[in-house]
């Protein structure tokens, strides 16, 4: 899965690495994301998984990518394509976002397989709670298999597992798995993070007891404090929920984030960081010396999940 800019890492770079590592296809959410990957693999190996309108059928067929289909309207619109469009029919087994009802799936599969403009290249579903609810996940999986068994045409590539599904239910792998967050080194024990997020200290000063820092004066010094300003803010992916929460690594030490997160800057208490100076690296995710901050840890400080932490990293942050 390389949607959302490769989960914030940079879609093209991630796609190259994934393919070199053995991936057999790439998953995106939109047609626009698919065009960024043109030429890396055969177009059919790129699956557009997000919801498309019937009015986009012409654009979808011209792209040559595999298209996720959840309903009859899009299937019928695609059937007019001059060349058969590879379609992956999605079945809603409990996630509730996209997908046709199980009882509708055999008929839709037949329509897709028999139309001149479409070809049934795959059939899939998506787990809602594969990281935490084994009983529900098994019900979803059984429903999927039961539905596909009633097809009178070949279902094509069958796939159900996301990262959590592949981790907790490897026996549900079927013909392919759609690993997302796991390939970025998050939410899967033992993996190494693919990303570090770093900025630089651009201002240093010492404030006296009682001094306030940042919008809203949310932090006040209890004594003389060395304060560092770092060139990164909520426009770059540091959530405002981080006000007075968590740490940033400077010279191998954990420096508390103090005050409100601004659009372009954060402030740190570096009183306990020996030798701190202008231009020092500030590591928001990653390793500095013996200290490590993970995306999962940042997510806890931000009251969110690692996915949002990574995909929130803004476009002006240089990807290397």
Closest among 137, 52, 120, 135 to 85, alpha carbons compared: 120
For residue 192, tell me if it sits in a domain.
Answer: no
13 with 86, same domain? Answer: yes
Where does a domain end: 153, 184, 215? Answer: 184
Helices (H), the chain: 3-7, 11-20, 31-36, 57-63, 72-78, 105-114, 134-149, 163-168, 295-301, 306-311
Q: What CATH number is attached to the domain comprising 257?
A: 2.40.37.10
CB 157 within 8 A of CB 88: yes
For residue 106, tell me if it sits in a domain.
Answer: yes
Where does a domain end: 184, 209, 234? Answer: 184
For residue 300, tell me if it sits in a domain.
Answer: yes
Angle value at C-alpha 171, between 165 and 175, nearest 5 degrees: 85
Strand partners, 120: 87
Q: Give the count of beta carbons closer than 10 Å to the beta carbon of residue 208.
A: 9
147 with 269, same domain? Answer: no
For residue 261, tell me if it sits in a domain.
Answer: yes
Residue 317: burial class (beta carbons within 10 Å; 0-12, 13-18, 19+): middle
Where does a domain end: 159, 184, 209? Answer: 184
Work out the pLDDT band at 15, boundaries 50, 70, 90.
very high
pLDDT, the chain, mean? 97
177 with 247, same domain? Answer: no
Please write the tens of the pLDDT for every residue from 59-78.
Answer: 999 999 999 999 999 999 99
166 with 217, same domain? Answer: no
111 with 214, same domain? Answer: no
Contacts of 232 (CB under 8 A, 6+ apart): 199, 238, 264, 265, 266, 282, 284, 317
pLDDT at 233: 98
86 with 214, same domain? Answer: no
CB 124 within 8 A of CB 89: yes
- What percent of the chain has pLDDT above 70? 100
Q: In whole angstroms, how far apart are CA 287 and each of 25, 181, 272?
A: 31, 19, 18
Helices 105-114 and 134-149 cross at an angle (nearest 10°) of 50
- Produce one character per residue of 100-131: b if its CB has 16 or more CB atoms within 10 Å, e if not: bebebbbebbebbbebebbbbbbbbbbbbebe
For residue 264, tell me if it sits in a domain.
Answer: yes
For residue 190, tell me if it sits in a domain.
Answer: no
151 with 230, same domain? Answer: no
Q: What CATH number is attached to the domain comprising 125?
A: 3.20.20.10
| Domain carrying residue 242 | 197-311
Between CA 38 and CA 15 the distance in angstroms is 11
170 with 263, same domain? Answer: no
The structure's pTM equals: 0.93
19 with 70, same domain? Answer: yes
Please write the tens of the pLDDT for every residue from 278-313.
Answer: 999 999 999 999 999 999 999 999 999 999 999 999
**Residue at token pair 């304060």:** 227
9 with 152, same domain? Answer: yes
List, by residue number, the catalytic residues: 3, 215
Structural domains of the chain, count: 2
Between CA 286 and CA 198 the distance in angstroms is 8
**Residue at token pair 């890396």:** 40
Phi and psi of 2, rounded to 5°? -125, 20
Work out the pLDDT band at 108, boundaries 50, 70, 90.
very high
pLDDT at 252: 98
Strands 281-288 and 291-293, by their bridges, are antiparallel
For residue 207, tell me if it sits in a domain.
Answer: yes
110 with 250, same domain? Answer: no
Between CA 142 and CA 134 the distance in angstroms is 12
For residue 318, tell me if it sits in a domain.
Answer: no
pLDDT at 61: 96
What's 100's DSSP letter? B
217 with 178, same domain? Answer: no
Q: What's the chain's length in residues?
A: 320
- For 20-163, list the strands marked E by DSSP: 26-28, 46-48, 66-69, 85-90, 118-124, 157-159
């Amino acid at each position: 899965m390389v949607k959302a800019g490769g989960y914030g890492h940079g879609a093209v770079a991630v796609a190259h690495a994934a393919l070199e590592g053995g991936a057999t296809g790439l998953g995106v959410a939109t047609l626009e994301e698919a065009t960024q990957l043109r030429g890396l693999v055969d177009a059919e190996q790129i699956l557009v998984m997000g919801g498309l309108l019937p009015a986009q059928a012409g654009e979808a067929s011209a792209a040559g990518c595999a298209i996720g289909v959840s309903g009859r309207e899009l299937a019928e619109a695609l059937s007019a394509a001059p060349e058969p469009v590879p379609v992956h029919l999605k079945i809603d087994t409990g996630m509730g976002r996209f997908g046709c009802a199980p009882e509708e799936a055999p008929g839709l599969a037949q329509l897709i397989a028999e139309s001149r403009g479409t070809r049934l290249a795959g059939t899939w579903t998506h787990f809602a709670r594969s990281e935490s609810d084994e009983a529900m996940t098994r019900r979803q999986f059984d429903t999927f298999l039961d539905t596909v068994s009633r097809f009178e045409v070949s279902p094509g590539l069958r796939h159900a597992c996301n990262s959590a599904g592949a981790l907790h239910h490897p026996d549900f792998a079927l013909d392919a798995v759609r690993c997302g967050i796991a390939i970025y080194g998050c939410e899967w024990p033992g993996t190494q993070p693919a990303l570090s997020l770093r900025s630089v200290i651009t201002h240093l000063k010492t404030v006296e007891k009682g001094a306030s820092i940042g919008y809203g004066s949310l932090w006040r010094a209890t004594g003389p404090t060395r304060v560092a300003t770092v060139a990164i803010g909520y426009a770059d992916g540091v959530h405002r929920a981080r006000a007075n929460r968590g740490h940033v690594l400077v010279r191998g030490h954990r420096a508390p984030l103090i005050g409100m997160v601004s659009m372009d800057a954060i402030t740190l208490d570096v009183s306990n960081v020996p030798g701190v100076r202008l231009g020092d690296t500030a590591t928001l995710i990653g390793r500095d010396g013996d200290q490590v901050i993970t995306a999962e840890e940042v997510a806890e400080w931000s009251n969110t999940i690692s996915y949002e932490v990574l995909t929130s990293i803004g476009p002006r942050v240089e990807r290397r």
